[in-house]
Amino acid sequence: MIVTARAVSYQNLKALRDIVIQDPSTLIISILDTRGTSPNYDLIYPETDGPKVYMFRFDDYGSIPEDEQLRQDVFSFEQAERMCRAIDKAHRWVEEVNLVAQCGAGVSRSGAVVDFVQQYARLPWSEFSEMNPQIKPNQLVLRTLKEVSGLLREQEGAWK
């Protein structure tokens, strides 16, 4: 089950590495800009078998852009479904899981993911807010995750 959710930036990879070395059951949701390069996780975690990493590419839009070209870079329902399924799977594990979401600044996109996880896994607010004082969740990402998780709940009944 998910016991913590933390948002971190790509600039803070050393802290993430320390988290994973202390607890290899960490699940990472890695959010990259659509035109960014992926970090080499083998270089970040050479001493471990490596954490489970789910990678996503979308840009930090708070609403759907009017420009058709930019719309392809927005968090999609397909990405939200994949993310919700990964979160649900991690929450159903017998072992305790620490979830870390990382994006460019560790504030908006990853903030929305951990905010969603906090609500989904019913993590204590006081501990969560102490771990994540910097977050300002991207409302489009948060709203999409909530909408997709609600649809999955209706369709499959297995969701909380």
Enter the tokens of residue 77.
Answer: 């329902």
* Opening angle at CA 93, ends 128 and 48, nearest 5: 80
Q: Could you tell me the pLDDT band of residue 93, with boundaries at 50, 70 and 90?
A: confident
Position 158 pLDDT exceeds 50: yes
Window from 28-37, 40-49, 66-75, 144-153 with minimum mean pLDDT: 40-49
Buried b (16+ CB within 10 A) or exposed e, 92-123: eeeeebbbbbbbbbbbbbbbbbbbbbbbbbeb
Mean pLDDT, residues 34-62 taken together: 67
What stretches of 22-160 adopt beta strand conformation (E)?
27-32, 52-57, 97-103
Rounded Cα distance between 9 and 17, Å, is: 12
Q: Output the average pLDDT for the chain.
A: 84
Position 130 pLDDT exceeds 50: yes
- Contact by Cβ (8 Å): 115, 135: yes
Query: In this predicted model, which residue has the larger pLDDT, 47 or 86?
Result: 86
User: Which percentage of the chain shows pLDDT scores above 90?
Assistant: 46
In DSSP terms, which residues pair with 100 in a beta bridge?
A: 6, 28
Query: In this predicted model, which residue has the larger pLDDT, 33 or 124?
Result: 124
Q: What are phi and psi of 149, to 5 degrees?
A: -65, -35
Other CB atoms within a 10 A radius of the CB of residue 77 amount to 11
The CATH architecture to which 2-156 belongs is Alpha-Beta Complex (3.90)
pLDDT for res 142: 96
Domain edges within the chain: 2-156
Other CB atoms within a 10 A radius of the CB of residue 65 amount to 14
User: Which percentage of the chain shows pLDDT scores above 70?
Assistant: 84
Q: Could you tell me the pLDDT band of residue 43, with boundaries at 50, 70 and 90?
A: very low
pLDDT for res 48: 47
